[in-house]
Amino acid sequence: MTEESATDDGTADAAAEGDGSVIRRDRFSGGPARSFLSSLEADERIFEADLEVDRAHVVMLAERGIIEADVAGEILTALDAIEVDGHASLPDGEDVHEAIETAVIQRIGEEGGKMHTARSRNDEVAACIRYRLREDALSALEATCSLREVLCEVADEHAETVMPGYTHLQPAQPITVAHWALSYEQTVRRDTARLLEAYGRINASPLGGAAFAGTTFEIDRERTADLLGFDSVLENSMDASSSRDFLLETASALSILATTLSGLAEDVILFANRGFVSLSDDYSSTSSIMPQKKNPDTLELVRAVAGDAAAGVQGLQTTLKGLPRAYNRDLQRATPHVWEAVDAVTEATEVAAGAVATADWNEDALAGAAGEGFSTATGVADLLAENGLPFRTAHEVVAIAAEDGADYDALESAAREVLGEPLEVFVNPDAVEAALDPAESVASRDSQGGPAPLAVRTQLESARSSLETDQEKLMDASESLSSAHDALREEVNEYV
Ligand code: ARG
């Protein structure tokens, strides 16, 4: 049937007017809750995904002889035209699935309705979300890898740049910029790993689960999974069509990543505040009234995204909690939480990477501050303990010195007070002077994972090699998506 003959049909006419009644006829075609029910606008996000899912399903139906090859050809041709016209040209409908089917029927007539044989919008929407979320999760994953790369570069450049390390926001022990950067690299590495895990579970096909109870038609679920590049089939049809734990898992992994980013952003904001680091103008803002101001606004927004992401998890989990099997329309409102979270967190990751990559570390200011607050005290106590004093006694000597000048002389009088003898009886004065020096103090803490430049080099090697492994995994994943897309196109071309 041509588009013209379709519009000869009164039903199609009504659909052309935009009430979507090609599919619903006169039932459920309107009412005051119409826009409340509709997800069509939000479904723009899965418009392309839905067309791909439709194509795979139609190809499989034709291969199995469930629909005729020429009807499949007409449907597939219509889908291509609908894609060219874009989401904005879709007729009205309760959602993108209904609207696309309506658009197909408008173009080719009633036969178009055969595309919905042996499926339901329930398995269809689940497939679309998974299809689209794979791409978005890959973008988020790539952003984590770029951030890790930036942190490795900072570490490489600043393996010897001494800086103060803090606990409770107070100077605690000297470290290096490299040690700080790699501490975040290692956390973000786990964020990558968590998202990769989630990706594995997103990448399974629910298609063919139908409404929830399977179908009487002799469908081939492995085939549609394969055509869509899914790694596996979600076997139980009720689980396939109605579970959304993959959304919750992805949102949670994103929220954990956002929490990591918020700490990183906060550190850099504090470092900028203390003059340790200078942000590039590209990642700063100024005040509309105070002309002297250069503010770390981008990083403050990165810090705030943790709130958005946590809200997404909360919204999603609250929506999903207590939902009975199988499909319930609540699920329509679950999905947008994840789109919002993945967009915000991916962008925040990219911005954090850019801000760190373009920041200038002020080595003099860092060196000047590295010894502040008697930050070498632990090293001096360690030295006394190495020389035979019980650590608790050494701690007491150094604690008294800390209150009393925090230098060699202070240590000397503390030793006389606590131990009754001069310091040199216990330890070589040169060694004490070295322990009081921030750079020497850093160099001496060469235990595995410590800040000593040598220990940091080892950490940097492992950071780089795991980054390479993860980047390969991402490359494989995105190649497998694009080759599935190309292969499906070839199958479609057999019909159109
Ligand atoms: N727009 C719906 C969603 O996002 C599609 C599924 C509708 N299914 C149904 N049984 N009403 O969940």
Q: Which domains does the chain have, with CATH numbers?
A: 20-117 (1.10.275.10), 126-174+184-216+235-368 (1.20.200.10), 377-436 (no CATH)
- By alpha-carbon position, which residue is closest to atom 11 of ligand 1? 329
Taking the centre of ligand 1 as the mean of its atom positions, its distance from the CA of residue 83, in whole angstroms, is: 21
Taking the centre of ligand 1 as the mean of its atom positions, its distance from the CA of residue 46, in whole angstroms, is: 13
pLDDT of residue 404: 86
pLDDT of residue 436: 86
DSSP 170-210: EEEEEEEHHHHHHHHHHHHHHHHHHHHHHHHHHSEE-TT-T
Q: Is the CB of 332 under 6 A from ligand 1?
A: yes
On whether the CB atoms of residues 207 and 127 are closer than 8 A, the answer is yes
Q: Is the CB of 242 under 6 A from ligand 1?
A: no
pLDDT of residue 35: 87
pLDDT of residue 31: 81
On whether the CB atoms of residues 138 and 474 are closer than 8 A, the answer is yes
Taking the centre of ligand 1 as the mean of its atom positions, its distance from the CA of residue 81, in whole angstroms, is: 24
Taking the centre of ligand 1 as the mean of its atom positions, its distance from the CA of residue 125, in whole angstroms, is: 7
Q: Residues in the chain with pLDDT < 70?
A: 1-30
Residue 57 annotated in active site: no
- By alpha-carbon position, which residue is closest to atom 10 of ligand 1? 122
In sequence order, the β-bridge partners of residue 232 are 204
Q: Is the CB of 122 under 6 A from ligand 1?
A: yes
CA atoms within 13 A on the CB side of 356: 32
d(CA 282, CA 218): 58
Q: Is the CB of 54 under 6 A from ligand 1?
A: no
Q: State the alpha helices, DSSP H only, in 2-120.
A: 3-8, 10-14, 21-24, 34-37, 47-63, 69-85, 96-108
Tell me phi and psi for residue 174, to 5 degrees.
-70, 145
pLDDT of residue 375: 84
pLDDT of residue 28: 60
Which of the listed residues 47, 332, 337 should we mutate to test ligand 1's pocket, taking the one with most ligand atoms within 8 A of CB? Answer: 332
Please tell me the pTM assigned to this model.
0.91
pLDDT of residue 372: 85
Collapsed DSSP state (helix, strand, coil) of residue 295: strand
* pLDDT tens, residue by residue, 27-77: 566 688 888 999 999 999 999 999 999 999 999 999 999 999 999 999 999
